[in-house]
Amino acid sequence: MICPYCGSQLRDGSRFCTNCGGDVSAAPVPAPEPVSSPEPVPSPEPVQAPQPAPRRRGRAALVAVIVVSLVVIAVAGALIALHLTGNRDVPTLTFGSREAVSVSRVTRIVPSSAEGSPLQRYVVRVREAFGPDGSRLDVSALPRLDVEGETGFTMADLGELDEGTYEVTVTPDDGAPQYIPPISVVDGDPGDAAGDGSGGASGPVELPEEIVVVPPEDTDGSEGDLSAPVRLGRYGAYLAKVRELREAHGELTVVSLSGSDVSWLAGLCFARLVDFGDGAERLVVAYAKPEAMSGLPQDLDVYTVEVWGYDEGSDQAVLEWSGGTSYSNGGYAYLCFWHPGDGSGVNLAREIPDTYITVVGILENGTLGVEHEIEQNYYQPDGSIGLTSKVDGQIVESDAFSQFIAGLGSEDYEMFNFMSSAGASSTGSVDDAVSLTQETVERLEQVAGDIVDAAGQAGGTQASDDADQGESEQAQPVDPATFTYSGEEVTATESVPAYNNGDGSPSGTLQRTWGYLRFSASGEGSAVDEVNALLKADYDGELAASQVWTLVGGKVECLRQRSSLDYLSGPVAGYRIYRDVTQWGAHGGTEIEGYVVDLATGAQMEPWDALGVDRAQLDATAAEVLRGYVLSRPDALYAESALDGNIAEHIAQDNYMLTRDGITVYLGDYDFFSYASGTHEVLVWPTGDKAAGTDVTGDYAFPYDE
């Protein structure tokens, strides 16, 4: 059909013209052409809508044409005014708003500038979508729309769409991607009463012919612009987190020692998007401690596993669970996902052989958390051997236990290995974890890379002008590297279990001094808060594990953990974490780990990089210094002929520490000397008055607790 007002081609049965907005259903039928008369033509009666003008002759015809033209102009002007003022016939929405709007597939969506003028060139992309039941819809095959002109676009332009809510961005030719309000696509035509309500309405609403989307106003009352994204969105927040973790812990790396058939992962070594069963994908990541770059991980806490969800209110990724990897009986780390047979979702299982299983999934309240804690002990209190299984603290018989964990999906699982060995095929390969991580990061970059890049260029998720200084005199950001930094150890007396009875039973508790570092900075914008959070989390995790420690399982107990700040130059801090550990045998032991961090950015560093030293040159110098130091002592465990190989192996394990005296090498119990000789710390790259080869153990030792 043809619009009687503007002549546009319309779909048969349309009620409104999508070009001029006229109500075509109410348009009058043109009257027959009147016979020309010499009598003066009276002024026309007021009309409700413009009508096709009959042919007239002479001055009377001219008057009629002018009158009708004025009416047409008035109506067009009214339509333009309605379009720009956002009345109920043409709803005006705001970029970044989270209030969903119900539309038909042919409702026109018109992105506009702050001045109300329709954008002329932009790209439309669907980022994610959910069905009416909350299930995710696959939008990977939907095209991007390159739109030109001021008439906007419709969801039908994207192809055949299911009913559901679509997250859509518009990227102007000269701007950043902008989320328009969630688009709820429902079956129906413009003018139909359908949908679940929008704009604060309750119940079904009339599907609009057109909606206009404009930038939000700044808090100071001035109109906004499109220079920066107003939201990151789910996948933008996840990508920002992946980039942050990769910066802090390093790129995904496959490490293997020369001449060894064992490989393992370091850096940000795992990333996967997982729907645990509630329709919302979460980001599962794992990363390694720095020592994984140089030596085979031996401890259960080398790898950290985290599950990040998306908080729409803050538009950020939020940590929902943190733990560790699973381990095989041979000490190989892996990540395991269980798939329940009822299709209820996915469970993340952390398995420690003959000790415990932690099952993480969707809880009854709809949040993610620990669903079940399962204990398995082969050693009985009387010293006999026999398997005992507990689920959430309750003993469960063998058959019932097998059925229980099978119902959680233990028989239908996916395993991603963080270590592999050519000589131990049961451990699998690290290749699956590597390829999945690469695919996940690539997907996030494809879906949200442009959003995160634009947000980063703008200095955050939203750009704002300094109203007091004006555009040309905006405040320049202060470089966090120029701040003044400090750090101190926070200590507390904690109770830990004692097992010093001859029969291996608990003998009460010990009081020990525990401590962790806390940094501060002279200005805002540094990474000290993030660093402090990680240090406190490590402290809390170690203390919690010690307070529930038992003699069963073969692990060591940490009796105390202390921390010290050994080096601070500008934002670069070198520190160590010290632990007294025991298995309640004849001897206890010590563990010392050294770290270097840039407090301005939160990035982990290496001691040699902090001082600008070439690693190969450092290794060669350290080997020479250590050789002389060991040979100078009568209690050395190795003959000179075997010494060089042992020194090279020790150096390769990155036992370097950054201190105020320079770079040292830590020698632990039984490293080159007998247990009675204790630990040693040797200065190998001095930066002050002390000579290379000096034993600085006493300068960095911790006070002893009785």
**pLDDT tens digits, 16-47:** 666 666 666 655 555 444 444 444 544 444 44
**pLDDT at residue 162 in the model:** 93
Tokens of 630: 């060991």
**pLDDT at residue 27 in the model:** 58
Q: Provide the whole-model pTM.
A: 0.55
- Distance of alpha carbon 290 from alpha carbon 667, whole angstroms: 18
The pLDDT of residue 389 is above 90: no
Please write the tens of the pLDDT for every residue from 456-467: 844 333 333 333
Higher pLDDT, 260 or 464: 260
Please write the tens of the pLDDT for every residue from 52-77: 433 333 344 444 444 444 444 444 44
- Distance of alpha carbon 5 from alpha carbon 234, whole angstroms: 45
**pLDDT at residue 423 in the model:** 53
The pLDDT of residue 434 is above 60: yes
Taking residues 667-671, what's their average pLDDT? 69
Tokens of 695: 């034993």
Taking residues 666-675, what's their average pLDDT? 70
Instruction: Map tokens 């009875």 to a residue.
Output: 501
**pLDDT at residue 300 in the model:** 77
DSSP, residue by residue, 77-112: HHHHHHHHHT-TTS-EEETT----EEE-TT-EEEEB
Helix (H, G, I), strand (E, B) or coil at 15: coil
Percent of the chain with pLDDT over 90: 42
The pLDDT of residue 164 is above 90: yes
**pLDDT at residue 397 in the model:** 87
**pLDDT at residue 223 in the model:** 46
**pLDDT at residue 72 in the model:** 47
Closest CA to 180 of 194, 189, 196, 169: 169
**pLDDT at residue 319 in the model:** 93
**pLDDT at residue 68 in the model:** 45
Higher pLDDT, 515 or 474: 515
Please write the tens of the pLDDT for every residue from 298-309: 777 889 999 999
Quote the DSSP letter at residue 226.
S
The pLDDT of residue 632 is above 80: no
* CA 248 to each of CA 239, 344, 436, 530, 604: distance values in angstroms, whole numbers, following the listed order: 14, 35, 21, 10, 6
* CA 538 to each of CA 143, 147, 158, 495: distance values in angstroms, whole numbers, following the listed order: 45, 51, 48, 17
Strand ranges inside 508-626, DSSP E: 508-521, 557-569, 572-582, 589-598, 604-605
Q: What pLDDT band is residue 669 in, cutting at 50, 70 and 90?
A: low
Q: What pLDDT band is residue 119 in, cutting at 50, 70 and 90?
A: very high
Q: Which H or E run includes 623?
A: helix 615-631
**pLDDT at residue 384 in the model:** 61
Q: What pLDDT band is residue 13 in, cutting at 50, 70 and 90?
A: low
Report residue 216 CA to chain centroid gap. 26
- What torsion, rounded to 10 degrees, do the Cα atoms 614, 616, 621, 626 define? 130
Please write the tens of the pLDDT for every residue from 181-195: 999 999 988 988 775
**pLDDT at residue 615 in the model:** 86
- Distance of alpha carbon 45 from alpha carbon 31, whole angstroms: 14
> Is the distance from CB of 455 to CB of 236 less than 8 angstroms?
yes
* CA 237 to each of CA 228, 234, 312, 453: distance values in angstroms, whole numbers, following the listed order: 15, 5, 10, 12
- Distance of alpha carbon 677 from alpha carbon 674, whole angstroms: 5
Mean pLDDT (the chain) is: 80
345-349, 651-655, 687-691: segment of lowest average pLDDT: 651-655
200-209, 508-517, 612-621, 645-654: segment of lowest average pLDDT: 200-209
Beta bridge partners of 337: 348, 414
When computed from its CA atoms, the radius of gyration of the chain, rounded to whole angstroms, is 35
- Distance of alpha carbon 4 from alpha carbon 30, whole angstroms: 10
Quote the DSSP letter at residue 382.
T
- String of b and e for 117-152 (b: at least 16 CB within 10 Å)? ebbeebebbbbbbbeeeeeebebeebeebebeeeeb
Answer positive or negative: Cα dihedral of 362, 366, 370, 376: negative
- Distance of alpha carbon 388 from alpha carbon 378, whole angstroms: 6
Higher pLDDT, 167 or 30: 167
- Distance of alpha carbon 651 from alpha carbon 626, whole angstroms: 10
Percent of the chain with pLDDT over 70: 76
* CA 413 to each of CA 279, 346, 495: distance values in angstroms, whole numbers, following the listed order: 20, 9, 39
**pLDDT at residue 299 in the model:** 75
Most confident of 149-163, 503-517, 655-669: 149-163
Strand ranges inside 235-339, DSSP E: 253-256, 262-266, 268-275, 281-288, 303-311, 316-323, 326-327, 333-338
Quote the DSSP letter at residue 394.
E
Domains of the chain and any CATH numbers: 24-85 (no CATH), 92-227 (2.60.40.1120), 252-444 (no CATH), 480-605 (3.30.565.40), 610-706 (no CATH)
43-47, 211-215, 463-467, 679-683: segment of lowest average pLDDT: 463-467
The pLDDT of residue 372 is above 50: yes
Closest CA to 428 of 259, 262, 661, 654: 262
**pLDDT at residue 110 in the model:** 96
Please write the tens of the pLDDT for every residue from 80-89: 444 444 444 6
Burial class of residue 360, CB neighbours in 10 A (0-12, 13-18, 19+): buried
Please write the tens of the pLDDT for every residue from 480-497: 888 889 999 999 999 999
